[in-house]
Structures are given as C-alpha cells and as structure tokens.
Amino acid sequence: MASNSMQITPAMNQVIPNELWVSLESNGSTMMKAVRASHAPDGRKVDVKPMLRIIDNILLRAAPAIVEGTYEDKGLLEEEIFSRSDVDAKLKTLASIIKKVSSELFSHNNLILSGTFKANSNVNQTIIPYGMDCKCTCSGGRDVHATIMMLLDTLSSYSWDAKVVLTVAAFIVNYGHEFLLFTSSEAKNSALAQSLAFLKQLRDITDHAKFSKAKIDAITKLIKGIMAVTKYIVELHNLPPESIATDEAPMSNAMAYIPKAAYWTMLSVVICASYIASLSGSEETTELLDLSRLASEGSKMLVILKSYKTIYKEYEDEKCKTAYWDLVKTFSSTHSDNMTVLKTLLLAKDGKQHLVGHTSKRIHIEELREKHVFLLASGLDISKEEIDILGKLYQEAKSKGEVQYEVVWIPVVEKTISWDQEKQQKFEQILAMMPWYAMPEPSKIKAEVIKYIKNEWRFENKMILMPLDRQGKVGSLNALDMLLVRGNKAFSSIYNEKEESIWEAQQTWTLELLLGGIDNNFSLVLDWTKQGTIVCLYGGEDIEWIREFTKATKDAVKNISSGTSFELVYVGKNNAIKEVENIIKTIDDENLSRYWNDLSSIWFFWTRLESMLYLKMQQCKNLKNDRIMQEVTTLLSYDDSDRGWALFCKGSEMALAQGDVALKSMKEFSTERKDADLFQAVSNYIKKSQKIQRCSRIILSGDRQEIPSKKLSSDGCECSMEKCFVYRCCADK
C-alpha cells in the first residue's frame, strides 16, 4: 500500500508542450510528417458506421449533450444494432484491434498517473494499482505524442477514418462507464454506481459532483468535439473514390487535412482518457487549460472540415450541371448507332463499361449495339409483381422471336443517401428476380444521370420504361403503359410514336380489352365467356360486404336458366396488395368464391387499368364521349369507394355496378322465378338504379404528367373530378 504523504508531479497535470500545438497549426512540421509517414494502408475496407452508432448509443446514455445534433440515428437501440448479423460479424472482426488499442491507452494512463501525490485529508488512503511505479520518470507531453505514434503504428494498415473510429471506440470501452458515473445524475444516486465506484477505487461520486463540475463540463465539451470531428472525417473519407483520388482542389486539400484532424482527435482522446482517470484522484489537481485549448482547436478544425464538405458539394454540383447538359445534348443529337447514348448513360463513375445479370454473368455495353433497348428506371422498392409481369413480356419476346429487345435496369438511388451493405443486399435480391441486365453498382451511377432521369423522363417513385431504338433515339415516354395494355404487340407503336394505333383493334369496351394480355388468369376468364358462361368479377376490401355479396350471389345462381353456368371471381383492390392477401385467405378459408391466387395477376389487372387511363388521357380530345375512358374511370372510382363493386359479363356484354347496387340486384333476383336470365335481369336493375350516382373519387399511384390540366368524370355523374394530392407513406395502407 502506498504512503499517504506523497507529492503531485508535473506528469499528473498532463500539460501539452508547445511543440504539439505548433504541429497542429502546421502541415509541414516534423511531427506531422511522422504522422503521415506512419500511414501504410493495405487496402482493407472497414465499415465504421455500425461502430459509430454504438459509440453514439453509449454516449447518449452517459452524456446526452455530447451526441445532441451529431448523429441522425442517435435513438437507435442496442438490440436493433446487434440484431443484424452482418453488423455483428463486422464488429467481431474488429474486436481484437480495439482491445489492443485499449491496452495501449490504458498503459499510457498507468504511466502518466504513476508518481507520488498527496492524499486528501478526508480520505483515509489512496489506493494505487498493484505494481505501479510511484516515481515519474518521463515528461507528460512527450508521453502523449509517443502514445499517439504508438497508436498510429498499431493502426498503420487502416484508413484514416478507421484509425479515428477505432481509437474513439477503445476510449469509450475503457472510460465510458467511468464517465457515466461522474456525469449521470441517476448514476450518482444508484447503489450499483456506488458499488462500481468502490470496486474501481473511485472517490465517492456524490462528493465528487460538488467540486468537479467545471472539469466534467470541459471533458464533455471536448468529447462532443471529438465526435463531431470524427463524423466529418468519416464523411469526407467515404466520398466517392474517384473524388478522393483526384489531385484537383478541393478534394486534394481536404484529403491532405484529414491526417491533421485525425492527429487532433487521437491527441484529444489520450488527454481525455488521462483526465477521466484523474477523476479518481483525491484532489483537484488537473488544470483545464489544455482541455479548453484542445476544444478550441477542435472547433477550428470543424469549421475547416465543414468548409471542405461545402466546397466539395459546390464543386460536384458544378460538375454535375455541366455533365447534365452534356447528357441532354447527347440525347437530342442524331447518332449512327446507340452506343454514344448508352455509354454516356450507363458508364459508371469509375469508367467500367459492363452490365451484370441475375446469374452474375457480365456483358460489355458493346453487346447492346444496334439493338432495341428498354431502360428500366426504378428505386429499390420495385415490387415482385412488377418484375414478374414485365419479365413475362420480356421472356415472351425472346421465345417467340417476333420482336427483339433488351432491358437494362437503372436503380435510381438518392445520392444523399449512403450506400451500405443492407442496400447492396436489397439490390442483389431484386437483381436475382430479373431476367435481364442491370448497372452493377448503383452507388457508382453518375449524379447527372439520376438528375436526367428525374427531370427529362419525369421519374418520381413508380418504375418507368424508356425505349431506345438502334440509333439511340428515345421513343414514347414510358413505354410501360403501352406494353401493359397490348403486350409486345405495342412494340412497333412504341418506336414509331403512334399511340393511337394501340386502340385500333379494340375500339369498344369489352372483356377482351379489359383482360387482354399474357396472364393465364385473364385467359381462363376469357375462355369461360367464349363458352357462354356468365362471369362476375368483383373487388374491394370490405370483408363483410364480400361475405354478404357472395352469399346473395350463390342464392341468386339457383334461379338461373338451366344449362347456364356462372363463375364468381375476386380480383382484389388497387394499391392494396397486403390487404388483398389477407382477404384472399379469408375467401379461401370460408370458401366464398374463386379468386386470383397470383398477386402478380391482381397487380397487372389494376396497373393495366391505370395504363389505359393514362394512354387515353394523352390521346382523347373529348374524354366524355369516349366509352373506354368512361368505363375505366368508373371502375377505378368504384374501387375507391368504401364498399365493393361487381362487373357482370356475358359474351361481349358487360354491366358494372357499385357494391350496394350489385348486392341488391342479387338479392332481388334470388326472389324471382326460376330459369330467369340472370345477366339481363341484373343489367336492367343496374341501369335503373345507377342513372344518377353520387360523386366519387379516384386515387392513382404517383403523380402522372398526363393529368395536370385534365378533369375526369365517372359514368352517371355530371360533376367533373378535380385533381388533388394525397400523401401516404405506404401504398399498401
């Protein structure tokens, strides 16, 4: 046990010598040259963001003021972080290096805290770790720099951002719990905290709070600066590689500044660790000068790092603006083939010219030369149903050989959102469902390309399909509508810009127009009508109405003419795939009716109706006199009502009714004499009941450009529909 009559040494004060301050102000100092010379990265990539979140979480509970305004996801719970297996695996690979850095930090503080010091008269004895040398043998300032160089040597093979984050993580591992004891009011009153303080030989934390607030506030301020500077180092270091590698300003200046910022961060960590360790001492001996000066230097660095980020953004914006107009010019020019356009559009930031398929097979962009190409633009929220239907069209074109085209997926991802492992996995999952090719790395799609797609192709959230002919000329905007309505038969119209020809074969409202296409469920319904079967398609999400309507329909069918068959099929609801899944389960469990068990068919049915509406909006001059337009609008408006709807079909005739009218028609027919003509009776009842209907609405997915100055109206309603906006977070709610 050490003697109580000891004297404080300069090492305890950890005064930073002037040469270190000079080094922080000069890029060419001997110390900074040594810092840069220690950097020998071996190319390993470390995703430091999960570790930053964990550090943030620890500090959030230890001292919330430190993380306030520093990290977006400061409220992330520990279980949410560790529940992800990929994060857990990443952290395990770094555990050993964090332990090693922690050991070096701890050994540094054993050294600087060694020496003699005088005990407080209110404390019986001061306990010194076993085996500690009580004689200070070296200068504190030199020890600080030596410790930092030792850390830099240990972390020499890591990138600058990883060096900093690993050092901060080691600091939090060693000193986070002690800092919590001194800063948390709850901890000071906790029996557990008092017990931990005793076991760690910390002075009574309740008494400590009376006279150490200034020191704690100074440490808190410095740690807040450490976290802020660390964040900017990570952000700058994780900018696109082609930006970091450039020798041009501003990035060359920013990259040259990062080692100095990293040195300041590590210096501050070492000093903070020493000061927190000194909180277990028996007297207020530590000066606050260095803490304040370090925090001040950190504030200066923060301003410089922020300015580099701002300058970089302005620099990139200017580059993007120039590249954007070059892209516009390229698309508006005439070319001998499609290569100029495709390479300008699909060439990655790093200059790579290949595309990747679902089997990981890669092809060179040159393989698309002189081919018709559909460019599929979508976010990572593209659905399986969308991919399935478009995939059927693509495979049909390949197998029949009547038309030939290739499809290339361009994932549109906001450049302001970082590309992490989770997004990469999502991208790979989507690509695995696609039978065509895609740009291999969404994070490397050029910013001007994303801007062009949004501005010139009017892309928002829903996928679009842009056709390029063999000379690289863009055909009809968003060929998806035409393909969904007429399948690959629309191919020639897409490239010849003859949208009106899409309706030439079907000028009247028939079930074949409504259900024409590649879907097997559609074909089965059409086969029934050709055989003379009366078919009733119905939809909605009110399960009580569905139960009532299907029961009434079954009762009514008992009275139909002998030899006449009847089929009842549930076709879902627009923009409500999740709800439809649950309804289908109920229909199946209770044996209420037939249904389309393929959700892709349901998505296709409703999206195809919307596509008909949009194409008509582009073509028709007098919408109120167009039968197809009126029927499509009416069906979409019925679908958006609180109750369901029903469409009765016999041969080429159809009768569409709102849910309540359809239900009443079935109930009325069930009371009539047997062998009556069900379709004729229902059709007459619908015409009598729906001469004038109440006002309705249509909710369409996305804000389509075809509609702005147009007004819709549904059959039987004399009012026009005004366009409004509905914002919702999920189309399935």
Question: Which residues touch 392 (CB under 8 Å, ≥6 apart)?
Answer: 518, 519
Average pLDDT over residues 72-81: 44
Domain that holds residue 518: 511-689
pLDDT digits (tens, 9 = 90+) for 340-396: 999 999 988 777 889 998 887 889 999 999 899 999 999 999 999 999 999 999 998
Question: Distance between CA atoms of 550 and 663, rounded to whole angstroms?
Answer: 9
* pLDDT at residue 6 is higher than 50: no
In whole angstroms, what is the distance from residue 509 CA to residue 9 CA? 96
Beta strands 362-364 and 645-650 are unpaired
Q: Are residues 484 and 566 in the same domain?
A: no
Last residue of some domain: 313, 331, 353?
Answer: 313
Q: Which runs of E-coded beta strand occur in 296-395?
A: 354-357, 362-364, 373-378
In tens, the pLDDT along 446-488 reads 889 999 999 888 888 789 999 999 999 887 777 898 889 888 8
Full-model pTM: 0.68
| Same domain, yes or no: 172 and 299 | yes
Contact 31/152 with Cβ under 8 angstroms? no
pLDDT band at 587 (very low <50, low <70, confident <90, very high): very high
Check whether residue 280 and residue 345 sit in a common domain: no
Is residue 75 very low, low, confident or very high in pLDDT (cuts 50, 70, 90)?
very low
Residue 182: predicted pLDDT: 60
Residue 733 within any structural domain of the chain: no
Q: What is the pLDDT of residue 659?
A: 92
**Are residues 220 and 151 in contact, defined by beta-carbon separation less than 8 angstroms?**
no
For residue 203, what pLDDT band results from cuts at 50, 70 and 90?
low
Could you tell me what percent of the chain has a pLDDT over 70?
69
387 lies in the same domain as 264: no
DSSP-derived pairing of the beta strands 362-364 and 373-378:
unpaired
* Beta-bridge mates of residue 375: 408, 466
Q: Using alpha carbons, list the distances in angstroms from residue 72 to 49, 52, 141, 317, 327.
A: 12, 11, 36, 24, 35
End-to-end Cα separation, the chain, in angstroms: 70
Asked whether residue 701 is assigned to any structural domain, the reply reads no
Question: Residue 585, Cβ neighbours under 10 Å: how many?
Answer: 11
**Cα separation, 214 vs 154, whole angstroms:** 34
Tally of domains within the chain: 3
Q: Are residues 233 and 378 in the same domain?
A: no
Domain-located, residue 320: no
Asked if residue 173 is part of any domain, the answer here is yes
Under the banding of pLDDT at 50, 70 and 90, the label for residue 503 is low
From CA 492, how far away is CA 727, in angstroms rounded? 37
pLDDT at 423: 87
Show which of 452, 467, 500 is a domain's final residue: 500
Question: Are 268 and 350 found together in one domain?
Answer: no
Q: What is the pLDDT of residue 178?
A: 66
The CATH number assigned to the domain holding 359 equals 3.40.30.10
Q: What percent of the chain has pLDDT over 90?
A: 27
Cα Rg, the chain, nearest whole Å: 36
Q: Provide the pLDDT for residue 377.
A: 95
Residue 419 inside a domain? The answer is yes
Q: In this predicted model, what pLDDT tens digit does every residue of 602-626 receive, in sequence order?
A: 999 999 998 888 888 776 655 667 7
Residues 472 and 386 in one domain: yes
Query: CA 333 to CA 342: how far, in whole Å?
Result: 13
For residue 610, is it within any domain? yes
Say what the pLDDT of residue 3 is: 36
CA max distance for the chain = 115
pLDDT of residue 27: 62
**Quick one: 250 and 291 in the same domain?**
yes
Q: Give the pLDDT of residue 337.
A: 92
Residue type, 629: M
Q: Is 8 exposed, middle or buried (0-12, 13-18, 19+ CB in 10 A)?
A: middle
On the question of pLDDT at 83 being above 70, the answer is no
Q: What's 656's domain CATH number? A: 3.40.30
- Kindly state whether residues 307 and 221 are assigned to the same domain: yes
Verify that 426 and 550 share a domain, yes or no. Answer: no
Same domain, residue pair 670 and 552: yes
Query: Is residue 436 predicted with pLDDT exceeding 90?
Result: yes
Q: By mean pLDDT, which of 326-340, 531-545, 591-605, 668-682 is the weakest? A: 668-682
The pLDDT confidence band at residue 111, using thresholds 50, 70 and 90, is: very low
Query: Where is average pLDDT lowest: 17-21, 145-149, 434-438, 445-449?
Result: 17-21
Q: Are 646 and 549 in contact (CB under 8 A)?
A: yes
What average pLDDT does range 523-541 have in this prediction?
Answer: 93
571 and 642, same structural domain?
A: yes
Write the single-letter amino acid at 119.
Answer: A
176-185, 325-334, 600-609, 680-689: least confidently modelled range: 176-185
Per-residue model confidence (pLDDT) at position 585? 95
Selection from 73, 58, 59 nearest residue 418 by Cα: 73
Closest CA to 110 of 137, 83, 81, 77: 137
